[in-house]
Each structure stands twice: as structure tokens, then as C-alpha cells.
Homo-oligomer: A and B are copies of this chain.
Amino acid sequence: MTGYTTLLSRSEIEEGLVLAPKFDAHGLVTVVATDADSGDPVMVAHMNAEALRRTIETGEAWYWSRSRQALWRKGETSGQLQSVVEMRVDCDQDAIWLRVRIGGDGGCCHTGRRTCFYRVQPTGAGAALRPMMFCE
């Protein structure tokens, strides 16, 4: 029981205006958070039904921590709270995009960086043999 409807047709899921998240076998949807100012992805994480409900009601990002198996109010200890500027849902409703404004020092990653995506993997012919590069 997630509190969300599951009795919708494919057309209702894709073209309807009722939120009907498709949770995976672990009860989770994937979330990508982007910085509302820069537009860049800052993290990829997950929400269960309760985290999703709290995010919608409070306008503040809550996740489900898979490592801690616990609800996670992002930024509660660091001050890097994520205020939701906009929430979007994808076509099949198994992924969510949050545009967030970040509190505290504006960071996101537990390594201290602004974004979790701080390394570039080269692509193209021969790239598999080249090391990654830091970009933050």
C-alpha cells in the first residue's frame, strides 16, 4: 500500500494527470535532482512512497537512503536542504526530476563538492583506455 493508485492503463499513465508512480521491486522510483540555477544534475537518488509524499507536501526533497534503509531529509545535518522549485514526472512514471535550490553552502555531494558528477569519462575511439578527469 503506497497510497498511490496502481489501476491505470498505459495511456492513463503516460497521458493522464494523475500521479501514479511505478515503484520498482524495492518500492522505489529514481530521482534526478538538478540545480535550479545552473541546470546541472547534482545527484541521482531514490524515493519510496513516503519520501515522495513528504517531498510533495513540504516542497523540500526527501529521499530513501538505500545504504541506511531509512527516510532521508536531504541536508538535515549539513544544512544543504533542497527546496523544490519544480517536480516533473517522466512518461512511464518511474522517474522523477526535481529542480532544486540548495541551502547552506549550496553543496550536494557527501565528498564536499557542489555535484556528485565531478568526473568526466572520455568517450570516442580509444577512450576506454583513458582515465577519467576531475571537472570540479
**Would A123 and B84 be within 8 Å (CB), given that A17-B132, A32-B41, A111-B15 are in contact?**
yes
A39 to B99, CA, bound (A): 12
A88 to B117, CA, bound (A): 6
Interface size class for chain A?
35 or more
A134 to B30, CA, bound (A): 20
Q: How many copies does the complex hold?
A: 2
Q: Is A50 an interface residue (CB 8 A)?
A: no
Identify which of B34, B92, B119, B122 contacts A41 (C-beta below 8 A).
B34
- Binary CB contact string for chain A from 104 to 123 against chain B (1 if under 8 A, 0 otherwise): 00000111010011111111
A131: nearest chain-B partner, CB-CB: B17
Q: Is A73 an interface residue (CB 8 A)?
A: no
- Binary CB contact string for chain A from 48 to 68 against chain B (1 if under 8 A, 0 otherwise): 000001011111000000000
